Amino acid sequence: MIDVIGIINLVSNDYALGEITQHRPLATVPFGGRYRLIDFALSGMINSGIDNVGVLVPLKQRSLLDHLRSGRDWQLDRKRDGLTLLPPAYERQKQPSLHEIGNLHANLAFFQKSRQQWVMMIPGGIVGSFDFKPAIAHHRASGADITLLYSEQEPHEYDCTNHVGLDIAADGRVQAIYSRPTSAEARNCFWGAMICHKDLFTSLITKHYAGSAENLLQALGQELGNLCIKTYRYPGMLGRIHCLKSYYRQNMLLLNPETWRQLFLQSGPIRTKVQPEHPAKYAADAHVAASIVAGGCIIRGAVDRSILFSRVFIEQGARVTGSILMANTCVAKNAVLENVICDKDVKISAGRVLCGQPDNPLVIKKGTVM
Amino acid sequence: MGQQEFIALILAGGQGSRLSHLTKNLAKPAIPFGGRYRIIDFTLSNCYNSQVATIGILTQYQPFELHSHIAASRLYEGANSSGGIFILPPYTTDAGGDWYKGTADAVYRNIEFIQRYNPRYVLILSGDHVYKMDYRTIIAHHKQKKAEATIAVIEVPWAEASRFGVMTADADLCIREFAEKPAQPKSNLASMGIYVFNWPVLKEFLLADAQDLKSDHDFGKNIIPAMLQAGRELYAYPFQGYWMDVGTIESLWQANMDLLGDNALFDLSDPLWPIYSVDPAQPPHLVAGRAATRQSLICEGCQVYGQVEHSVIFPGVYVAPGAMIKNSVVMPNSLIGANAKITGCIIGCGANIANDCEIGADGGEKITVVGEYAHIAAGAKII
């Protein structure tokens, strides 16, 4: 238990993953065989000793509320602290706020009544086995007003938009924030995580709610001259998901046993909503290689380099390669899937052949019968 | 206090001495089973799926893991006057106290608990059986027969009948005779150790049995024969379906094997009768590029680099490259080293089998058991 309020900021590009995010926010996009993206941020909070966690709820919230419920699956249903949902602002004659400042302003009461002194805010679309304790200790020792967490990115990671670059001076102070960086500017990638004192945080929200900043990033840019904003280089594995390509690639990375171990066995468990599943069942003619398989699956066919979520059925003679099959996908006899992402409840009928490209996977919409 | 139509009591205090190494530190109902379950999960899930509101669980032998499993399963919210799950260990009072001396004594000592709910019927269950039963049907049968006690029975092969409590019933299923493990069985209807009693009748016989110094205070040996002798209305409830008393190493292994195959004898995947357990909070398992997994159940958190054939692999098991597991049960967090051969075994929780070991044999009559947290040195042969 540490003296920190955790905020998970789910206000983001709501259509980042096309059809996959048509009916759900980025936060509840299924990932890695049994998780939703928000599980990594939430588990990171718990595993870092932060147990007063507020979640900034986006406008599309049905699947989020269904997933989180009381927070019990993350051990956040507590008599004191635990999970608090922070819904978007409602104001008469005004559109609901689409950015986090309005949302945070509507929920200032949460900060006022929390007894912790510090605020750690992280985004929802990140994958990793997080331990934020060193970052928090670094912030408190550095004397900075605000600490932004960044990762050093390899150039091939720049192929997607939504990167934010930081220009960091020798003394660690942020000199500039680039919201549409060139590849040189994007080297120090700010991934939306920040730490500051609660009083400063609430006064910034109050100030910029009345000001011209359209989002928190712009507000931080405006404060660069006024406040001491420093950085902390996050050393661990960090997957950022902001488009279909990054989603597919981050999933496929898990098929590497080293990455699988790093993500799941490093800093405590990744928790998620618990459902009763029977153990995965392999039939006599199952051929499975280089794949990850969740509970409740029944496999009679061939599966290679793929991720099977809960209760996926692969019939005899079916071949699945390089694909992500979300919960309840059924692949009938002799069907062939290559580089396909099946959203939940998809049925592929016997003999169908569906192919996408490794750099452009084919997405089958939730509930489709093909 | 209001009345509930029936409550369930689960007898879960048994040691399971015939399971040797496996029950050294835990009660028989807490033995891991079927990949992600413990044996008591089947009875508990039956209760939940049958909408039993109040469950008392009588525990005694090595109860720590059993208690924490029941708490963590969170099957029922709360435990109060309207029901829930209650753990009922032996206890002392100002008049002293003692261990439970038998199954009937355990229930006798909790008469006050049962009285709180003032039920019309009491369902007595065992915590170490693997089966699926809707208890509402046995209660309905009991009511329809206007029975005072109903005993669930299952047909067993005649050759095995002498291992069970055997019932002789007439065409109307009215029980005429009952023999506990008879040398010359007159019937092949075996008692499953599942009883429905009218509570006032059971209470009367429990009170009498408690006064009998010669009694073993056992349902099968004492209460049922006493009721028959007194001419009470006892009926059989014939059960159709899979049922296994997991009391020996062989039956524990066999019941695990019965979960495998396309037409498994016991199906864990029925969406209408889910079996609940405690989620191991582990990631989906990883099957590596050169692994082979067939006719098996594999759970969360496993890393499989070798071969798994016709086996049940519990959560968090590591199967190294070149290892070969066949016809075996591998309990949670065990490590099977490179090129190890495991055949016809039960490997206990957290066991560490080093590289190149050879354990068990195919077609062997006996199942080889490696105890929990055992370390088997590299290259060892245990056949």
Q: How many CB atoms sit inside 10 A of residue B154's CB?
A: 20
Contacts of B312 in chain A (CB under 8 A): 279
Pseudo-torsion of CA B103, B104, B107, B110, nearest 10°? -120
A256 touches chain B (CB under 8 A): no
Place of tokens 């995965």: A280
> Which residue, among A127, A293, A308, would best test binding to B if mutated, counting the most B CBs under 10 Å from its CB?
A293
A325 touches chain B (CB under 8 A): no
CB contact under 8 A, B299 and A288: no
> Which residue, among B282, B298, B314, would best test binding to A if mutated, counting the most A CBs under 10 Å from its CB?
B298
Place of tokens 């692949």: A331
Tokens coding B52? 């039993």
Task: Closest CB to A278: pick one of B262, B268, B303.
Answer: B268
- The partner residues of B236 in beta bridges, in order of sequence, read B151
Question: Which pLDDT score is estimated for A172?
Answer: 87
Q: Phi then psi for B67, rounded to 5 degrees?
A: -60, -45
Of A282-291, B1-10, B162-171, B323-332, minimum mean pLDDT range: B1-10
CB contact under 8 A, B261 and A294: no
Which three-class secondary structure state does DSSP give residue B19?
A: helix
Nearest residue of A to residue B270, measured between CA atoms: A278
Question: Which pLDDT score is estimated for A16?
Answer: 82
Answer whether B15's CB lies under 8 Å from B59's CB: no
Nearest residue of B to residue A272, measured between CA atoms: B281
Task: Closest CB to A293: pick one of B261, B284, B308.
Answer: B284
Place of tokens 């730490």: A195
- The partner residues of B341 in beta bridges, in order of sequence, read B324, B358
Query: How far does CA B362 lie from the centroid of its chain?
Result: 27
Q: How many CB atoms sit inside 10 A of residue B51's CB?
A: 9
Return the closest-CA partner of residue A116 out of A208, A216, A45: A45
Tokens coding B133? 């039963």
How far does B306 lie from chain A, in Å, by closest CA? 11
Place of tokens 């009693």: B197
Contacts of B335 in chain A (CB under 8 A): none
Contacts of B206-211 spanning 24+ positions with Cβ under 8 A? B206/B104, B206/B107, B206/B108, B206/B111, B207/B108, B209/B104, B209/B105, B209/B108, B210/B105, B210/B108
Question: Which pLDDT score is estimated for B14?
Answer: 80
| Distance, CA of B142 to CA of B153 (rounded, Å) | 13
| Distance, CA of A264 to CA of A26 (rounded, Å) | 21
Query: How far does CA A364 lie from the centroid of its chain?
Result: 21
**Chain length of chain A:** 370
CB contact under 8 A, A290 and B287: yes
CB contact under 8 A, B283 and A257: no
Amino acid at B95: A
Return per-residue pLDDT of chain A as tens, 370 residues: 689 999 999 987 667 888 999 889 999 999 999 999 999 999 999 999 999 999 999 888 899 999 999 999 999 999 999 999 998 877 655 665 567 888 899 999 999 999 999 999 999 889 999 999 999 999 999 999 999 999 987 655 555 567 789 999 998 899 999 988 887 788 888 989 999 999 999 999 999 998 888 788 999 999 999 999 999 999 988 888 888 988 999 999 999 999 999 999 887 899 999 988 999 999 999 999 999 999 999 999 999 999 999 999 999 999 999 999 999 999 999 999 999 999 999 999 999 999 999 989 999 999 999 8
CB contact under 8 A, A284 and B262: yes
Tokens coding A367? 């509930």
Domains observed in chain B: 6-257 (3.90.550.10), 286-382 (2.160.10.10)
A124 touches chain B (CB under 8 A): no
Question: Which pLDDT score is estimated for B2?
Answer: 59
> Which residue, among A281, A310, A328, would best test binding to B if mutated, counting the most B CBs under 10 Å from its CB?
A281
- The partner residues of B234 in beta bridges, in order of sequence, read B149
> Which residue, among B279, B313, B329, would best test binding to A if mutated, counting the most A CBs under 10 Å from its CB?
B279
- Which residues neighbour B228 within 8 Å (Cβ) at sequence distance 6 or greater? B175, B177, B178, B234
Pseudo-torsion of CA A266, A268, A273, A275, nearest 10°? 80
pTM: 0.93
- Which residues neighbour B196 within 8 Å (Cβ) at sequence distance 6 or greater? B6, B121, B122, B123, B124, B138, B139, B142, B147, B149, B150, B237
CB contact under 8 A, B288 and A283: no
Question: Which pLDDT score is estimated for A76?
Answer: 94
Contacts of A261 in chain B (CB under 8 A): 303
Q: How far is CA B135 from CA A73, B150, B272, in A?
A: 30, 12, 15
Mean pLDDT of chain B: 93
* Alpha helices, H only, chain A: 38-47, 62-68, 100-106, 108-113, 133-142, 198-209, 216-223, 244-253, 257-265
Contacts of B281 in chain A (CB under 8 A): 269, 271
Calculate mean pLDDT across residues B156-161. 89
ipTM associated with this complex:
0.93
Answer whether B29's CB lies under 8 Å from B12's CB: yes
Calculate mean pLDDT across residues B311-334. 97
Instruction: Work out the pLDDT band at B383, boundaries 50, 70, 90.
Output: confident
Answer whether B34's CB lies under 8 Å from B79's CB: no
pLDDT tens digits for B171-226? 999 999 998 888 999 999 999 999 999 999 999 999 999 999 999 999 999 999 99
- Burial class (CB within 10 angstroms; exposed 0-12, middle 13-18, buried 19+) of A355: middle
A286 touches chain B (CB under 8 A): yes
CB contact under 8 A, A264 and B282: yes
CA dihedral sign, ordered A83, A89, A90, A95: negative
Whether the pLDDT of residue B364 is over 90: the answer is no
Whether the pLDDT of residue B130 is over 90: the answer is yes
Q: What is the 3-state secondary structure (H, E, C) of A93-155?
A: CCCCCCCHHHHHHHCHHHHHHCCCCEEEEEECCEECCCCCHHHHHHHHHHCCCEEEEEEECCH
Question: Which pLDDT score is estimated for A35?
Answer: 97
How far does A310 lie from chain B, in Å, by closest CA? 9
- Which residues neighbour B336 within 8 Å (Cβ) at sequence distance 6 or greater? B306, B317, B318, B319, B320, B323, B325, B330, B342, B347, B353
**Helices H / strands E in chain B, number of each:** 8, 33
Task: Closest CB to A257: pick one of B35, B296, B303.
Answer: B303
Give the count of Cβ contacts less than 8 A between chain A and B. 104
Question: Which pLDDT score is estimated for B229?
Answer: 95
How far does B293 lie from chain A, in Å, by closest CA? 7
